[in-house]
Structure 1
Amino acid sequence: MRVWLLRTAAFLAGYALIDVVSRPPFAQETGLHEIWPSVGIAAMWLVAQRGAPVRWIDPAVLVVAAVGLNLVAGEPIAVAAACGLIVTVHLGVFLRLWPGARPGTGDGADHGLRRPADLWSLLMAAGTAAVAGVAVGVPALWLATGMFSGLQTVTLLICTTTGMLIYGACARHVGAALSSLRARHGSVTAGWRQALRATPGARICEYLTVIGCSVGAYVITLTASGVPMVFPLLVLSVWSSVRLSTTYVTLFSVASTLATGAFTLWDSGPFAAFADPQLQVLVSHIFATTAALVGLALALARDERLALTTELAEEKAQASRQARLMDAIVNSMADGLAVEDHNGRLIMHNPGVKAMLGRARTPDVDDASGYYGFRHLDGSPITDDEMPYRTIVKHGEADRAHSIDVLVSNPDLPQDRIVRLTGTRLTDPDGALHRTVVLIRDITAETRQRDELAGFAGVVAHDLLNPLTTVEGWTETVADTLAEIPDHPGLSIAHSGLARVGRAAARMRGLVNDLLAYTTTRDAAIAPVDVDLAGLAADVASARVDTALAAGTPVPVFTFGDLHPVHADPVLLRQLLDNLVSNAVKYTAQGVTPHITVTDVRRDDMVAVTIADNGIGIPAGQHDAVFDTFHRAHRGKGYAGTGLGLAICKRTVERHGGTITATDNPGGGTRFTFTLPAEPAAGDNPAAGTGHRDRPWPTGTPEPELAAV
């Protein structure tokens, strides 16, 4: 607090000194009544003290000083009060607009002048405050003195605008510079010494030269008599703004304004050539404002240009570093990475492409499949339409990756290799999608290991059937033998043990059958034909209805849409439908009648089939994991299973070139959606059907009629 009060006393002394100096006899003839140039000092005072702990002290001291100094100078009480009112309005409006004169901040912090826009905002604030002061002060002075002059009004407006602009700019920019020095070096003195040591000697000489030339030019110009030749002094402003710092230009503007004002007040210099004292003051302030605006505008434009150039250079360097880092990352990848356009032409690739494929094609080679020797894993050739870039263009999905496993065989590879091509659409900054990023990964060892494991599982499962059949056969024989033995205390224990053995054998047979089915769907050749999906789905549903009737369980209700024919292996497709329907029936809460809906929709050459149920659903976070081998989502909840059913479904769909997903059914339960190739027949309606039929239909019961879904 003590420091702030000392600063208040220092500003008060400066304000009083300017008031005393600016009151020569001729000032009374202008009728300006000490408004000029002390209003600029007052603006600097209040701007510098805006962070004071008690903010009302400085404005109160200023108003008291403005009124008191006028009274001491012999002004009437009414005139002194009017001058106090003018100062209050001027500075109140100026300070109110001060945060708005700082574009991009608005927080009242000292950021200095950074660009020409800051200067124009400051000029707007000073001009608005001057207009407000004149609007209030001129009528007040007229009431106090009974005199009014248009020239006096204009002079008062220009003088106050000049004072608040130049001194306000000094308070803002120099104050920010001093704060920066204090923050970086602990004190202004230490910061000044450090800056002086870091400045080259030639630069210091240039500063001294400009200062010497400026002092000499102003002294000569402002003391010469005769024809006024003051405007060549603008050359000094231009020189300073082009070569020296903005802080110097700001201080130079303040010094030149004080010098011009002082010589004019004491009736010396080129502006004293005017007979009317008010014209002398007016013209001198127009010159001071012009010189300050020219110098500051040029300096700030230079600073802004330099800041933009530095920022651009930093961004360019950062982009260059990121590009080099990205190149290093891409080139160091063990996997291959290539970028292709929408026609499949190679744009760029990393060394991993040649390591994976044995060769790297040039942009003029269009047939990638033939060049690299791509084939399906079964040895059949791969068409261009099956390549990732074609698949992505065809489906138009920017956020989905498309993968295909291919066998690579060409003279540049020592041995055939299996790789996985994964394509993702590359989005340009303008939103256009014209390129595809293809990742190439060697999966030869992984595929071989997986095939060996699957083959081993198939062999083991097949070999287990014989002893399992023996166990089941002898279990039945023992059960028949025990049935002929008279009742005995240990007979019930034997029957119970045989029942456990039978159930264990049945579970074992189910696991073995699932292992064999998984091996079959994985390795057996598929024979796709046109399949009536509606008829096949009805047949599978009929079998499930018969099973429920025989077991005495709730009979499932089926709803079918007008299903489109598909092009698939009928055996594998039946198994796919049976597995999904079996899951829907099995995973239904006890005592609840299963409701299963089968619908589809055709999209181009694919049919998306959806099977929805009202079962217990899939736990959150497991909708993808349920398709993994041996994964069971409901362990220990009374639902038997091996965890292979959905893995078989996934393998079946993928071997047909489709996909399968599991989602929650909005009405409760689960929705499985898989895609299969559509029947390649002309005239098919691509829209989804709208008819349905509800089942079951027990033996001897007529089927319900079709109704709208």
Structure 2
Amino acid sequence: MDRRDHRPDRPDGAGADRQAVPARRPARSGSARARDRGSPGVSRARVLDLAGFAAYFVLAAVLGRLTVLDGASLALLWPAAGVAAAWFAVTGWNRWLIVDGVVLLACSWLINDLTGVSTSLSLGLALGTLAQVLLFGLLISRWCPSMWGFGEEPPPGVQSLRDLGYLMAAVFLSTTVASLIGPTSILFEADGEWGGLVTWVLRNAAAVLAIFPLSLLARNTARAPRGQRGLGGLGAGGTVEAVLLALCTAGLVWMVFLVTDGLPLPFVVVVTCVWAGTRFTSWVSDIHALAVSGAVAALTVLGHGPFDEIADIGSRELTFQTYIALVVVINLVLSVGRREALLLNQRLALSEEAAAAQATTMRTILDSMADGVTVLDQDGRLVLRNPAAATLVGTPRLDDEGRLAPDPEEISALDGRSLVGEEGLLARALSGEVIEGLDLLVRNPSVPDGRMLQVTARPIIGSDPPSTVLVFHDVTADRRERDELASFAGVVAHDLLNPLTVVEGWSEALLEPARNGVSVPPHLQVEQLERIQRAAQRMQHLINDLLAYTTARDLAIKLVRVDVVAVVEDIVRARVDAARVQSGLVPRITVAPGVPAVRAEPVLLRQVLDNLVGNAVKYVAPGVVPEVSVTGRRAEGDASMVLIEVSDNGIGIPEGHRSRVFDSFHRAHRDGGYRGTGLGLSIVKRVAERHGGTAWVRGNDATGGTTMCVTFPAAD
């Protein structure tokens, strides 16, 4: 009668320490699909598979029949049940199922019949084995489809305790139901007790749990590519500990079943099962359970050990099967649990590494951002801020409880809304309200020059505790540019309106007499046309300045070596020629030799020098011959820059205007009859700053005029 071998389930064909592979039904290989189609070449392979599994089953059945006790018909171990489950799991539901079933039925019946079991009982046990395998297939293909019909692509095995639960449920349910189909009536006919039926169920279930996963491992290893075959290592224990486990197990079995023969101490051996399950991979734990089961069965058959002391043969078999089932389940549960814990720890470690890498990346991004980022919790406590936030906002002011408490005099909203208080913008932002594009003025000891910031506040969805992120964008230059553009529009409209009014008025004065047929004296016509011409020239100068202003702002800079002396000399020649034609007063302009060359955009550098020389020539008292000197040298304190100075004997710049003459459209001499747009010096400073330099003005004590200073990078 069948009796299955006890071998702990193998949770993973690749070993407990391998990385988990999601449980899924592997795709059928090409050879398996071809085999199902029945091509001649593959049919031969299928026959070889059938013959191999049949031989495997016969060998397991013969070994099982060697464990039959005197006076009993059931074998203590029946590993053939586990072999049958692995056999049918490989082939699955295909056209060969009937052939496989007939071969299995014949092998089981013949082995039992040839080893002393009656023909009727052999047939009943064979039917029970076949029914168990088919029912097991129905259940496991539904609950764990990757374990059924995989052909040449075995699944990785039991991935978790959940999969193990499904496997155990499928095994015990199929074995219990199958026992009612095959051996029930015969068993009751033999002894009339339920004990024999329970023994059959426990024996066959334990055999499937032990042999089925280990068979998957063997097939998985055989199908693996060369160089990748292996059982996945020993686990945490290592070789030395594995040897100690084997020695301790052998010693305990010897002591319990030979030295203390008759004492009820078989539970002591279970300690080694706990050791194997918690320290080694699943295949080591499986083999350990098989070794313990085989040794205990052999000693019991030979008449040694506590089980042999049980007088009733049915009770002896039931007690033995319960013990073996306990050994198998302990090894199986502990090894799968260990593997699941290791895989979980591995995933956690990978998640921690990924989170740490992501945090490092985010920190790097935050630290490199020009915008300030600050994170506050729901109570207003500072959680995080990047260096840009510290630069833009300065040191935060905190209250006694560590909450952010901005000083309204240091940080204020431009629209007049309050930042503090229960109804303030900060409290509303911390409560989850989204605030977009709020302009703040920051002026505190950390930001002495003051700064305009645009802030956006948003709640961080899913944060625990609830948090709010504030993003600060420096809009100081943008707002200054906006104000300049607003002023620019006003000045342009005003300055263009005046000459246009003049042109329109004098054009009308010329047109009206012509319409009425009235002649106008020639000298009046000349005077009116000259006025129109001067107005047009003023508009032309304004437009030229606006174009120069735009060029200074937007022209792409291509730095080249520029000879400052050559550029100034060319400008001087043009200015002298123009002065001879316009006023007859020829300015005296000197250029000091040896002015260092600079690296600059030639067009922009010429604009700067032309503006400075032109202002020096223009802003002089009436009747005074302009005297201008251009000098240059390395800047003090920074030898990489060249300082260019343009000094004049002009009317000078009042002290209160010197800090503002570089502002757009600012004019220090509006009422002196000196025409201009107020853009010249603004262009000078903008160009210098775009080259990494700067511009400033100081008085010329020697002449009472002005000295304009500008710096550019040295060419060498």
Relative to the length of structure 2, the TM-score reads 0.55
User: Aligned with 2:479: secondary structure?
Assistant: helix
User: 1:91 Cα deviation (Å)?
Assistant: 1.0
Amino acid paired to 1:167 = I
Residue 439 in structure 1 maps to residue 471 in structure 2: yes
User: 1:467 Cα deviation (Å)?
Assistant: 7.1
Residue 244 in structure 1 maps to residue 244 in structure 2: no
Residue 335 in structure 1 maps to residue 364 in structure 2: no
Residue 204 in structure 1 maps to residue 246 in structure 2: no
Give 1:158's aligned residue: 202
Q: What does residue range 141-220 of structure 1 map to in structure 2 within 5 Å?
A: 141=186, 148-172=192-216, 178=221, 182=224, 186-188=227-229, 191=230, 203-218=238-253
Amino acid paired to 1:19 = A
Q: Aligned partners of 1:206 and 1:423: how far apart in 2?
A: 60
Q: What does residue range 255-294 of structure 1 map to in structure 2 within 5 Å?
A: 255-265=291-301, 267-294=303-330
User: 1:443 Cα deviation (Å)?
Assistant: 1.4
User: 1:6 Cα deviation (Å)?
Assistant: 3.9
Q: Aligned partners of 2:187 and 2:335: how far apart in 1?
A: 41
User: 1:167 Cα deviation (Å)?
Assistant: 1.9
Residue 132 in structure 1 maps to residue 166 in structure 2: no
Give 1:624's aligned residue: none
- In structure 1, stretches of 5+ residues that fail to align are 486-709
Give 1:489's aligned residue: none
User: Aligned with 2:224: secondary structure?
Assistant: helix
Q: Aligned partners of 1:477 and 1:219: how far apart in 2?
A: 134
User: Relative to 1, partners in 2 of residues 1:91 and 1:344: Cα closer, same or farther, differing over 3 Å?
Assistant: closer
User: Aligned with 1:149: secondary structure?
Assistant: coil
User: Aligned with 1:154: secondary structure?
Assistant: helix
User: 1:97 Cα deviation (Å)?
Assistant: 2.0
User: Aligned with 1:421: secondary structure?
Assistant: strand
Residue 450 in structure 1 maps to residue 450 in structure 2: no
Give 1:598's aligned residue: none
Give 2:540's aligned residue: none
Residue 374 in structure 1 maps to residue 412 in structure 2: yes
Amino acid paired to 1:310 = Q
Q: Aligned partners of 1:344 and 1:20: how far apart in 2?
A: 78
| RMSD, aligned α-carbons | 4.4
Greater relative contact order, per chain length (Cα 8 Å cut-off, separation 6+):
2
Identity of aligned residues (%): 27
Q: What does residue range 406-417 of structure 1 map to in structure 2 within 5 Å?
A: 406-417=440-451
Q: Aligned partners of 1:320 and 1:137: how far apart in 2?
A: 60
Q: Aligned partners of 1:138 and 1:371: how far apart in 2?
A: 94
Give 2:591's aligned residue: none
Q: Aligned partners of 1:426 and 1:470: how far apart in 2?
A: 62
Residue 87 in structure 1 maps to residue 125 in structure 2: no
**Contact preservation (8 Å) 1:346, 1:363:** no
Q: Aligned partners of 1:391 and 1:213: how far apart in 2?
A: 70
Q: Aligned partners of 1:140 and 1:121: how far apart in 2?
A: 29
User: 1:153 Cα deviation (Å)?
Assistant: 1.9
Q: What does residue range 101-116 of structure 1 map to in structure 2 within 5 Å?
A: 102=144, 110-116=155-161
Q: Aligned partners of 1:72 and 1:337: how far apart in 2?
A: 84
Q: Deviations over 1:313-367 (max 9, x none)?
A: 3333333333333333223322222234566565543222332235443455755
**Contact preservation (8 Å) 1:218, 1:233:** yes
Q: Aligned partners of 2:482 and 2:420: how far apart in 1?
A: 28
Q: What does residue range 17-56 of structure 1 map to in structure 2 within 5 Å?
A: 17-23=59-65, 29-32=71-74, 36-50=78-92
**Contact preservation (8 Å) 2:184, 2:197:** no
Q: Aligned partners of 1:419 and 1:347: how far apart in 2?
A: 21
User: Aligned with 2:182: secondary structure?
Assistant: helix
Q: Deviations over 1:560-614 (max 9, x none)?
A: xxxxxxxxxxxxxxxxxxxxxxxxxxxxxxxxxxxxxxxxxxxxxxxxxxxxxxx
User: Relative to 1, partners in 2 of residues 1:88 and 1:470: Cα closer, same or farther, differing over 3 Å?
Assistant: farther
User: 1:250 Cα deviation (Å)?
Assistant: 0.8
Q: Aligned partners of 1:38 and 1:341: how far apart in 2?
A: 65
User: Relative to 1, partners in 2 of residues 1:300 and 1:381: Cα closer, same or farther, differing over 3 Å?
Assistant: closer
Q: Aligned partners of 1:175 and 1:418: how far apart in 2?
A: 72
User: Relative to 1, partners in 2 of residues 1:369 and 1:403: Cα closer, same or farther, differing over 3 Å?
Assistant: farther
Give 1:9's aligned residue: 51
Q: Aligned partners of 1:425 and 1:295: how far apart in 2?
A: 51
Q: Aligned partners of 2:257 and 2:46: how far apart in 1?
A: 38
Q: Deviations over 1:518-564 (max 9, x none)?
A: xxxxxxxxxxxxxxxxxxxxxxxxxxxxxxxxxxxxxxxxxxxxxxx
Q: What does residue range 658-673 of structure 1 map to in structure 2 within 5 Å?
A: none
Give 2:426's aligned residue: 389
Q: Aligned partners of 1:318 and 1:97: how far apart in 2?
A: 39
Q: Aligned partners of 1:105 and 1:26: how far apart in 2?
A: 32
Amino acid paired to 1:149 = E
User: Aligned with 1:275: secondary structure?
Assistant: coil
User: Relative to 1, partners in 2 of residues 1:304 and 1:29: Cα closer, same or farther, differing over 3 Å?
Assistant: same
**Contact preservation (8 Å) 1:359, 1:372:** no
Residue 460 in structure 1 maps to residue 492 in structure 2: yes
Q: Aligned partners of 2:502 and 2:369: how far apart in 1?
A: 55
**Contact preservation (8 Å) 1:337, 1:350:** yes
Q: Aligned partners of 1:346 and 1:413: how far apart in 2?
A: 20
Amino acid paired to 1:410 = N
User: 1:456 Cα deviation (Å)?
Assistant: 2.0
Give 1:426's aligned residue: 460
Q: Aligned partners of 2:169 and 2:241: how far apart in 1?
A: 34
User: 1:132 Cα deviation (Å)?
Assistant: 0.6
User: Aligned with 1:407: secondary structure?
Assistant: strand
Give 1:357's aligned residue: 393
